[in-house]
A and B are shown apart, each in its own frame.
Chain A
């Protein structure tokens, strides 16, 4: 029961008055920003990163926990009330939730999303408590070649396996990897892809890339097709509370959603889309009210929302224990760690247990705060949604550029931001996934240094990658994950031609 003991210790840290205040600030800011249409949790974290520049690491990580969970919650409110999911994982919530809001049942939809998020978040955080120490024990024995192989798996699954097109996903990943090469090579001090520009020697800032790609790129995209879509805010009518029948119909979907979300999120497989879609189709099959699906069935909100939150908590397992981000949001959290020179992994558990367990404990606290605060405050969040679109996006752009200006007020850095926003626009227009770029930028240099370390130890013999059973297995998994979408595509084509 070491884990429980460690958690108790974490709770004593997280419940210190200042840390409670940080958690509360994080939860409120995260929800307020996450509720803005088109802003997902990854962007919420990216936009709010500059605020924590001057805080101490423990306080700012606790604030991040709040921002992360708050951003998730805010996102689901937006999907239910305006049908503009900020990320693909809340698409399913929008499917049934927006229908419920249109039918005047927005209150219960928000309530089941909030309580489901709480149930899933709490169970999944418990999952982290028990899974993380175990994984840390495994990871202690990892050599550099094993880490490298693990990162290759993450690269492939994030970019190729689960997207629409493996070629487009891999293209995004390689753009990220290329950006990761920019700057001084840490082992030899040689500049790479810096073209003699001094500002480029430090490399590409993750926040500049993320804010450019997500915030400004999204603003450009929305502005360019404003004439095509009309957003309609559904007012919350009727009671906020769920009826007894609503509770009964929500309970098992919450539990099942959590069971889908946490394991898939914890695997270095990336993306909360799969568990949410799995949960939706399961609830559709199991429901006693199949006629309601597609017209606002509460199970279709409860299950996917729980799955989404559980998988978001699940992605913290590889992030904290292995330093492996498997989603854009996790990559942003990793950037948050790195701004204090902290590298998540087994070492961090050993050296700074107060930090890690304080963070995990504050996830519980953030969860409770969200549950207590958000239902009563829903009226306030809805008001945020009513900000006229021109001012909303103008404000987002001001905050987005401010983050970069505060971090590095140079013309080169701002020009890079502008370049990334054009890239973000083009990627959305041509349907390239954005997350692999961020993961490639942040994980690419780590993977390279692990590989080079492995090859230094083996005196340059590349066979070291296959001699470690762990690394050989992981590389085989990576090859399978790379080939699977092509094979499946071949199969579906075969099926299509059969019809």
Chain B
């Protein structure tokens, strides 16, 4: 086991500590922009200040952990897989946001995720995703009457 002295400061850990501090500062800023006087006890501002303070303390705690190299070790990872899944999610949001409907959005997400997990048959996966999306659409929109976003394809049914 390595001792604290031999471990190097962890840059990623320090970035996390910085982000936590940033969240704390945003909370302070947001709370201080609120107006209105409190009659009794606590107003809506108090809790953001308490939690923000706690967050700032934890940012320092995380910084110390990172500085001493006490952050857990990470294994190597595959950034391509992450990019594919996040890209699939972004495409899903874009398609639904632009009114493309649930089924095409689902098909794209399905194919992107399957590719991230090593499949190399994007046309087949797009088809499977579309069938799955169609089945889910029928089940939820028609049977359980939950409204799913409709595009040109969904309006046919």
Interface, chain A (partner B; CB < 8 A): 50-51, 53-54, 165, 167-168, 170-171, 174-175, 177-178, 181, 185, 187-188, 190, 192-193, 195, 216, 219-220, 223-228, 388-391, 393-395, 397-399, 401-402, 405-406, 409, 411, 414-415, 417-418, 421-422, 425-426, 429-431, 444, 448, 451-452, 454-456, 458-460
Contact at B76–A228, with CB atoms within 8 Å? yes
Sample (21) of A-B pairs whose CB atoms are under 8 Å apart: A50-B140, A170-B54, A171-B58, A174-B51, A177-B54, A190-B44, A192-B34, A219-B113, A223-B113, A223-B117, A224-B82, A227-B76, A389-B117, A390-B113, A394-B114, A397-B85, A414-B89, A418-B89, A425-B82, A430-B12, A455-B41
A311 → chain B closest CB, angstroms: 26
A460 contacts across to B, CB distance below 8 A:
40-42
CB < 8 Å: which of B23, B61, B128 contacts A391? B128
User: How near does chain A come to B71, taking the closest CB pair, in angstroms?
Assistant: 7
User: Which B residues are within 8 Å of any A CB, using their own CB?
Assistant: 12-13, 16, 20, 23, 26-27, 30-31, 34, 36, 40-44, 47-48, 51, 54-55, 58, 61-62, 65, 71-72, 74-79, 81-82, 84-86, 88-90, 92-93, 96-97, 102, 106, 109-111, 113-119, 125, 128-129, 132-133, 136, 140, 144-149
Query: Which B residues lie within 8 Å of A421 (CB)?
Result: 86, 89
Q: How far is the CA of A59 from the CA of B116 in the complex (A)?
A: 39
Q: How far is the CB of A417 from chain B (nearest CB, A)?
A: 8
Within 8 Å by CB of A190, from B36, B85, B145, lies B36
Q: Is the CB of B41 within 8 A of A223?
A: no
In contact, A181 and B51 (Cβ under 8 angstroms): yes
Give the complex CA separation of A414 and B65 in angstroms.
33
B27: chain A residues at CB < 8 Å are 178, 181, 193
> Roughly how many angstroms separate A171 CA and B24 CA in the complex, as a whole number?
12
Contact A405 B65 (CB under 8 A): no
Number of residue pairs A-B, CB distance < 8 angstroms: 195
Partner among A190, A399, A455 whose Cβ is within 8 Å of the Cβ of B42:
A455
Given the complex, which residues of A lie within 8 Å of B149, measured CB to CB? 405, 409
A177 (CB) vs chain B CBs: closest residue? B51
What is the minimal beta-carbon distance from A392 to any residue of chain B, in angstroms? 8
Given A181-B51, A223-B78, A188–B36 Cβ distance below 8 Å?
yes
Inter-chain contacts of A175 with B (CB < 8 A): 23
Q: Is A415 a contact of B93 with CB atoms below 8 Å? A: yes
Knowing A411-B96, A452-B41, the reply to whether A216 touches B89 (Cβ < 8 A) is yes
Q: In the complex, A414→B97 CA distance in Å?
A: 10
User: Which residues of chain A come closer than 8 Å to B36, judged between CB atoms?
Assistant: 188, 190
Chain A contacts of B93 at CB under 8 A? 411, 414-415, 418
Q: Which single residue of chain B is at the shortest CB-CB distance from A180?
A: B51
Q: What is the bound-complex CA distance between A356 and B75, given in angstroms?
A: 46
Q: Distance in Å from the Cβ of B144 to the closest Cβ of chain A?
A: 6
A390-B58 in contact given A54-B145, A401-B109 (Cβ < 8 Å)? no
CB closest residue in chain A, given B44:
A185
Q: Which residues of A contact B51 (CB under 8 A)?
A: 174, 177-178, 181, 444
Bound complex: CA A224 to CA B80 (Å): 8
Query: Which residues on the A side are within 8 Å of B82 (C-beta)?
Result: 220, 223-224, 425
- Shortest CB-to-CB span from A143 to chain B, Å, is 14
Give the complex CA separation of A236 and B16 in angstroms: 45
Q: List residues of chain A with CB within 8 A of the CB of B128.
A: 391
